[in-house]
A = this chain, B = another copy of it.
């Protein structure tokens, strides 16, 4: 059982105020449709800033209940997967409540090396286990070290035939889900 997380992690500026990457409308749309295509259980958008959470709720409710829901039922089906949370621990709590098990977390990154979980290994785990797994994608400069360090696994990076790996997070989610949930 796979959940995915798009993580906007809190960063503190010199005055001690939280700054973070903003939630992009296109991230919500593209990733929700990919998640639906690959039968993901839930798509969490994590952002620590209440105004950003409200913005995401507004976009989503239009496609769930507003004009968008009637206009495009396929978009509506994808948007039903979306859940907004303020932190990664809140996501883990929510999944534990829903599934009855504490999920295993897997972080993604373009520059990981060392002992990594292979795409084929994760695909096999997901096919054979009924336990919940959470795949975490970062925005901006990737996932903060303290999140990487608390994860159960680090996933191998997506690589093409040469050493250029600067994909949009939207593209990375599409490729990774195809590799681990594709038929």
Contact = CB atoms under 8 A, between A and B. Distances in A.
Interface of A: 26, 29-30, 33-34, 36-39, 74-75, 77-78, 158-162, 164-168, 170-172, 174-175, 178-179, 181-183
Given A26-B26, A37-B166, A183 B161 contact: yes
A175 B158 CA distance: 11
Given A174-B175, A179-B178, A74 B38 contact: no
Main secondary structure of the interface of A (DSSP, over half): helix
Among A29, A30, A74, the one with the most B-chain Cβ atoms within 10 Å of its Cβ is A30
Contacts of A75: 166
Stoichiometry (number of copies): 2
B171 A158 contact: no
B39 A167 contact: no
B30 A171 contact: yes
Contact of A183 (B29, B30, B160, B175): B160
A171 B170 CA distance: 7
B33 A168 contact: yes
A74 B165 CA distance: 9
B37 A160 contact: yes
A125 B180 CA distance: 25
B171 A34 contact: yes
A37 B164 contact: yes
Contacts of A174: 167, 170-172, 174-175
